[in-house]
Amino acid sequence: MSDSTVYLSEWMSLMRSGMSRPRTDTLQHCSPVTGSNRGIGFDLVKAFSADSNNIVIAGVRDPASATALQELSKTAKAKIHIANIDAADEEGNRAAAKEIEQTFGRVDVLWANAGGSP
Ligand SMILES: NC(=O)c1ccc[n+]([C@@H]2O[C@H](COP(=O)([O-])OP(=O)(O)OC[C@H]3O[C@@H](n4cnc5c(N)ncnc54)[C@H](OP(=O)(O)O)[C@@H]3O)[C@@H](O)[C@H]2O)c1
């Protein structure tokens, strides 16, 4: 199995466990977005955070310099959790998946967006 398969299988297993668990909340959706510092990832966070039912996890390489996300989080309807998720760091991804599971109990949609423009 390649490194990227291991990394994705970690997230997939978290999503499966969340889906098989009965919902205890109303309609909250937990949607981590990787690579959300700018570009499409940032726009995804902006779109999801307009709905107060959503739990938005904005994955970035450097939360301290994610100024656009910090500004957005001041006015967004949903809470935006700016998280240190480097998509190239396998161990970091495992830790992030575990922390999200422990904090929110589920992942409904994972936006594996991190990368460069073609
Ligand atoms: N734009 C298109 O036409 C197009 C077409 C097909 C597919 N895509 C795909 O869609 C995704 C987003 O595209 P985009 O146009 O929004 O790209 P973009 O404007 O270049 O933004 C890419 C984002 O990904 C982040 N990133 C890169 N590597 C990362 C890593 N290892 N860990 C965490 N974050 C990382 C960057 O972080 P920093 O800000 O820290 O650099 C940046 O915030 C990419 O995967 C791209 O391949 C785009």
Helices (H), 31-86: 39-48, 67-75
Q: What is the pLDDT of residue 52?
A: 86
In the predicted model, residues of the chain with pLDDT beneath 50 are 1-4
Query: Of 4, 8, 11, 38, which is best to mutate to test ligand 1, by the most ligand atoms within 8 angstroms of its C-beta?
Result: 38
Return the structure tokens found at 33. 């977005």
State the distance from the centre of ligand 1 to the C-alpha of 13, rounded, in angstroms: 24
pTM: 0.85
In order of their start, the domains of the chain are: 3-13+28-104 (3.40.50.720)
Ligand 1, atom 40: closest residue by C-alpha: 61
Ligand 1, atom 41: closest residue by C-alpha: 37
Cβ < 6 Å from ligand 1: which residues?
34-35, 37-41, 61, 86-88, 113-118
Q: What is the pLDDT of residue 88?
A: 92
Map residue 49 onto helix, strand or coil: coil
Cα–Cα distance, 40 to 55 (Å, whole number): 18
pLDDT in tens, 93-111: 889 888 888 888 888 888 9
Map residue 27 onto helix, strand or coil: coil
